[in-house]
Amino acid sequence: MKLLRLWLTILMLLVVASALFSGCGEKIAIPEPEGIFGISSYRPLNVPFYVDDPKQIAIIDGALFVIHGDSLSRRYQNFYLTSDVNHQAGMSGLTALCADQDLGLVFVYDENLSRVMWYNTDLDLQGSGDVPNVQSGVSMTTSPSGIEIVGATTFLYIADPDSGVVHRYAFDEDAGTLSSFGILANDEGESARFVLQAAGLATDIEDSVLVCDASAERHWVIRFISEPDLEDVTPNNPDDHDLMRGKAALFRSLNCVPFPAAAYVLGDAPGCNDDDWEGGPSDLEGAFDNPQAVAVDGSGRVFVSDSNNDRVQIFEDGVWVLTFNTNHDDYSSPTSLATVDKSHPTVINYGAYVFVVFREDNLVQKYISYEEELSDPGILPPPQ
pLDDT at 136 over 60: yes
Give the pLDDT band (50/70/90) at residue 5.
very low
CATH code of the domain covering residue 256: 2.40.10.500
Give percent above pLDDT 70 in the chain.
85
287 inside domain: no
Q: What is the average per-residue pLDDT within 82-98?
A: 87
Tell me which residue range forms the domain holding 263.
Answer: 131-280
Q: Which of 302, 273, 274 is nearest to 288 (CA)?
A: 302
Distances (CA, A) of 63 to 106, 245, 277, 346, 348: 11, 33, 43, 23, 18
Whole-number Å distance between alpha carbons of 164 and 167: 9
24 inside domain: no
101-124 pLDDT, tens digit each? 999 999 999 999 999 999 999 999
| Model pLDDT, residue 331 | 78
pLDDT at 10 over 50: no
Give the pLDDT band (50/70/90) at residue 177.
very high
Give the pLDDT band (50/70/90) at residue 21.
very low
CA 53 to chain centre: 19
Distances (CA, A) of 164 to 110, 135, 366: 18, 10, 33
pTM of the model: 0.87
| Model pLDDT, residue 373 | 87
41 inside domain: no
Distances (CA, A) of 234 to 169, 182, 193, 242, 265: 18, 10, 15, 6, 25
| φ, ψ (nearest 5 deg) of residue 86 | -140, -165
| Model pLDDT, residue 377 | 65
| Model pLDDT, residue 232 | 87
To which H or E segment does residue 202 belong? Answer: strand 198-203
Q: Which of 66, 60, 63, 102 is nearest to 86 (CA)?
A: 66
328-360 pLDDT, tens digit each? 766 789 999 999 999 988 889 999 999 999 999
288-301 pLDDT, tens digit each? 999 999 999 999 99
302-314 pLDDT, tens digit each? 999 999 999 999 9
| Model pLDDT, residue 233 | 81
Q: Are the C-beta atoms of 272 and 254 separated by less than 8 Å?
A: yes
Question: Which is more confidently placed, 233 or 79?
Answer: 79
| Model pLDDT, residue 37 | 37
Q: Where are the alpha helices (DSSP H) in the chain?
A: 2-20, 370-375
273 inside domain: yes
Domain count, the chain: 1
366-379 pLDDT, tens digit each? 999 988 988 876 66
Question: Which is more confidently placed, 186 or 47?
Answer: 186
pLDDT at 17 over 50: no
| Model pLDDT, residue 68 | 95
Quote the mean pLDDT of the chain: 86
171 inside domain: yes
Q: Which residues contact 229 (CB under 8 A, 6 or more apart)?
A: 243, 244, 245, 246, 247
Q: What is the average per-residue pLDDT within 205-223?
A: 96
| Model pLDDT, residue 218 | 94
246 inside domain: yes
| Model pLDDT, residue 308 | 95
35-68 pLDDT, tens digit each? 443 445 898 987 789 999 999 999 999 999 999 9
pLDDT at 145 over 90: yes
| Model pLDDT, residue 239 | 62
CB count within 10 Å of CB 71 equals 18
69 inside domain: no
Give the pLDDT band (50/70/90) at residue 29.
very low
Q: What is the average per-residue pLDDT within 318-327?
A: 89
163 inside domain: yes
